[in-house]
């Protein structure tokens, strides 16, 4: 059977109407500028990304000690880059649709999602900073000393709080507890039960809110502000999170070189990043622009009912807007992306750097989740599967084809390398995954998919 996803996408110039109706769209950013032009206007720069990478290296021995699963990879929290071009046909694409590579953050060690890059980085950097300021170690000491008795005792009288739809809570909670902090995770109503159970099991204090992600973050921030011993990981504003994510681009570059993949004007890299609050995709896109400059093109992917980055970028940045303002519901099975209002910090960083935004329906997430398991044995969560929309939507939409034409690519997508960033899935319990898989299989086999 031939897959025919997204064949219904046509560009009739009135994207906002489709957005409001909850239909999938491909939106090209009219404010996209060359990186050279934009770089100097941004609050963060190339050296910040290099610093983050250096910090990760310095933290590596500590991380190996805290998490034995990192011993075989020298304490680096990294994922494989896998060529899945053999899936082109299953995805309903032609052989000349470009190479398809998966950046497998669904199997990132320790936290099983892209949030390991941000959450673990911020928690470790905070612990390091706290210990330095208290004089428990000196600037030249190896941060592995943070596992010493004195530091642990000190951290046990301090808290780390975060608001989350699930995965950031997992990553921050796991790192905070491993270092001996008290951890408080405020969960939105989207949070899956297994994520909450897992946190409870390692002694994290989970507060469940009957409210959306933005409200959970606000409450977490308010509670943390009242307690000077508690540090708040602010998913909506944190530069540390953003930079922790950004370092991924340097590793990606090494992987691309190792695979002998050329990236230049005639062989561009297109990266598709599932987007919630924006920190993870924004940080990685920012890092990728530092590393690949004009030759990388970053697209965010969002659920049709929660396209918060899309509505903000379409609206302009003078005031924050939410998907509710556009009559949308912020309901989706992609819990990692159930965010109604994008981070304004990220929106400002991305305004001129993101090439476009693609929106997806939940049913398609399950179909791709099924295909990724069947063809590659990947275990994805629904949010992570959204990146499969990337090469499909660009190849099949008029605006996508025009985008590559405007790059001067005579052979269309043939020489494009598509990088699909699969953001999470490894920790999903097998019973839940089996349910996702069966649902995807049924949807895939139902007529008219
Ligand atoms: C958090 C998350 C995202 C989106 O990252 P943001 O920083 O919220 O934009 C995407 N996929 C998964 C699986 C996530 O956990």
pLDDT mean over 393-412 = 95
Instruction: Identify whether the C-beta of residue 307 lies closer than 8 Å to the C-beta of residue 242.
Output: no
Cβ of 337 below 6 Å from ligand 1: yes
Cβ of 190 below 6 Å from ligand 1: no
Cβ of 115 below 6 Å from ligand 1: yes
Q: Which residue has the higher pLDDT, 279 or 6?
A: 279
Q: Which residues contact 409 (CB under 8 A, 6 or more apart)?
A: 266, 268, 415, 416
Cβ of 113 below 6 Å from ligand 1: yes
Q: Which atom of ligand 1 is nearest to the CA of 274?
A: 10
Please tell me whether residue 177 adopts helix, strand or coil conformation. Answer: helix
Cβ of 279 below 6 Å from ligand 1: yes
Cβ of 114 below 6 Å from ligand 1: yes
Q: Which atom of ligand 1 is nearest to the CA of 343?
A: 9
User: Given this model, what pLDDT does residue 324 score?
Assistant: 97
User: Given this model, what pLDDT does residue 111 score?
Assistant: 95
137 CA distance to ligand 1 centroid (A)?
Answer: 34
Q: Is 114 exposed, middle or buried (0-12, 13-18, 19+ CB in 10 A)?
A: buried
Q: For all residues of the chain together, what is the average pLDDT?
A: 95
Provide the 10 A C-beta neighbour count for residue 134. 11
Among protein residues, the one whose CA lies closest to atom 14 of ligand 1? 336
User: Given this model, what pLDDT does residue 2 score?
Assistant: 44
Cβ of 356 below 6 Å from ligand 1: no
Secondary structure (DSSP) of 123-144: HHHHHHHHHHHTTSS-TTS-GG
Instruction: Identify whether the C-beta of residue 118 lies closer than 8 Å to the C-beta of residue 278.
Output: no
CA distance 206 to 418: 38
Ligand 1: which of 167, 309, 342, 379 to mutate, most ligand atoms within 8 Å of CB? 167
277 CA distance to ligand 1 centroid (A)?
Answer: 7
CA distance 24 to 394: 13
Cβ of 277 below 6 Å from ligand 1: yes
Cβ of 167 below 6 Å from ligand 1: yes
Instruction: Provide the terminal-to-terminal Cα distance of the chain, rounded to the nearest Å.
Output: 10
φ/ψ (deg, to 5) at 201? -65, -25
206: which 2 tokens?
A: 């989970």
User: Given this model, what pLDDT does residue 112 score?
Assistant: 95
Residue count of the chain: 449
Q: Is 445 exposed, middle or buried (0-12, 13-18, 19+ CB in 10 A)?
A: exposed
Provide the 10 A C-beta neighbour count for residue 336. 31
CA distance 190 to 210: 9
Share of the chain above pLDDT 70, in %: 96
Please tell me whether residue 26 adopts helix, strand or coil conformation. Answer: strand
pTM: 0.96
Quick one: which of 323, 313, 394 has its CA closest to 350?
313
Q: Which atom of ligand 1 is nearest to the CA of 424?
A: 13
Among protein residues, the one whose CA lies closest to atom 15 of ligand 1? 336
Give the ranges where 226-351 is alpha helix by DSSP (H).
239-246, 248-258, 279-292, 308-315, 344-350
Q: Which residues contact 440 (CB under 8 A, 6 or more apart)?
A: 366, 367, 368, 369, 370, 371, 373
How far is CA 325 from its chain centroid?
Answer: 24
Ligand 1: which of 188, 243, 282, 423 to mutate, most ligand atoms within 8 Å of CB? 423
Give the ranges where 357-423 is alpha helix by DSSP (H).
362-376, 382-385, 389-396, 398-406
Cβ of 280 below 6 Å from ligand 1: yes
Angle between helices 239-246 and 279-292 (to 10 degrees): 50
User: Given this model, what pLDDT does residue 350 score?
Assistant: 98
CA distance 309 to 87: 29
User: Given this model, what pLDDT does residue 13 score?
Assistant: 63
78-94 per-position pLDDT tens digit? 999 999 999 999 999 99
115: which 2 tokens?
A: 């949030």
CA distance 311 to 323: 7
pLDDT mean over 128-143 = 97
CA distance 55 to 240: 11
Instruction: Identify whether the C-beta of residue 63 lies closer than 8 Å to the C-beta of residue 49.
Output: no
Instruction: Identify whether the C-beta of residue 64 lies closer than 8 Å to the C-beta of residue 129.
Output: no
CA distance 24 to 17: 11
275 CA distance to ligand 1 centroid (A)?
Answer: 6
249-308 per-position pLDDT tens digit? 999 999 999 999 999 999 999 999 999 999 999 999 999 999 999 999 999 999 999 999
Please tell me whether residue 348 adopts helix, strand or coil conformation. Answer: helix
Model confidence at 4, pLDDT cuts 50, 70, 90, reads low
């Amino acid at each position: 059977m031939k897959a025919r996803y997204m064949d219904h996408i046509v560009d009739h110039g009135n994207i906002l109407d489709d957005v409001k109706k909850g239909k999938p769209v491909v939106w090209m950013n009219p404010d996209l500028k060359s990186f050279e032009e934009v770089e100097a206007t941004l609050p963060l720069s190339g050296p910040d990304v290099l610093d983050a990478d250096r910090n990760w290296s310095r933290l590596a021995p500590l991380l190996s000690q805290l998490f034995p699963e990192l011993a075989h990879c020298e304490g680096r929290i990294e994922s494989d880059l896998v060529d899945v071009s053999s899936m082109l046909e299953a995805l309903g694409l032609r052989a000349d649709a470009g190479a398809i590579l998966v950046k497998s953050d669904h199997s990132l060690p320790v936290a099983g999602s892209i949030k390991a890059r941000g959450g673990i980085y911020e928690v470790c950097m905070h612990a390091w900073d706290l210990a330095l300021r208290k004089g428990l170690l000196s600037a030249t000491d190896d941060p592995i000393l943070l596992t010493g008795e004195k530091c642990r005792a000190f951290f046990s009288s301090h808290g780390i709080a975060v608001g989350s739809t699930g995965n950031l809570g997992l990553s921050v909670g796991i790192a905070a507890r491993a270092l001996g902090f008290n951890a408080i995770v405020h969960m939105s109503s989207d949070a899956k039960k297994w994520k909450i159970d897992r946190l409870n099991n390692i002694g994290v204090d989970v507060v469940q809110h009957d409210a959306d992600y933005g409200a959970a973050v606000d409450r977490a921030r308010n509670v943390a502000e009242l307690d000077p011993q508690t540090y708040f990981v602010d998913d909506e504003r944190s530069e540390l999170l953003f930079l922790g994510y950004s370092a991924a681009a340097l590793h990606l570059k090494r992987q691309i070189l190792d695979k002998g993949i050329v990236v230049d004007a005639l062989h561009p890299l297109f990266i598709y990043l599932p987007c919630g609050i924006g920190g993870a995709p924004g940080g990685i896109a920012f890092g990728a622009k530092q590393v690949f400059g004009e030759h990388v093109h970053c697209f965010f992917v969002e659920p049709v009912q929660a396209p918060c980055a899309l509505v903000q970028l379409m609206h302009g940045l003078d005031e924050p807007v939410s998907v509710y303002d556009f009559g949308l519901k912020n309901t989706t099975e992609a819990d990692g992306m159930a965010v109604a209002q994008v981070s304004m910090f990220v929106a400002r960083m991305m305004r001129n750097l993101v090439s476009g935004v693609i929106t997806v329906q939940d049913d398609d997430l399950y179909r791709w989740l099924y295909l990724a398991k069947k063809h590659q044995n990947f275990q994805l969560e629904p949010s992570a599967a959204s990146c499969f929309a990337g090469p499909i939507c660009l190849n099949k939409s008029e605006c996508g084809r025009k985008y590559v034409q405007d790059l001067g690519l005579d052979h269309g997508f043939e020489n494009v390398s598509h990088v699909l960033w699969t953001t999470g899935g490894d920790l999903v319990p097998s019973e839940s995954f089996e349910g996702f898989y069966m649902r995807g299989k049924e949807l895939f086999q139902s007529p008219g998919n």
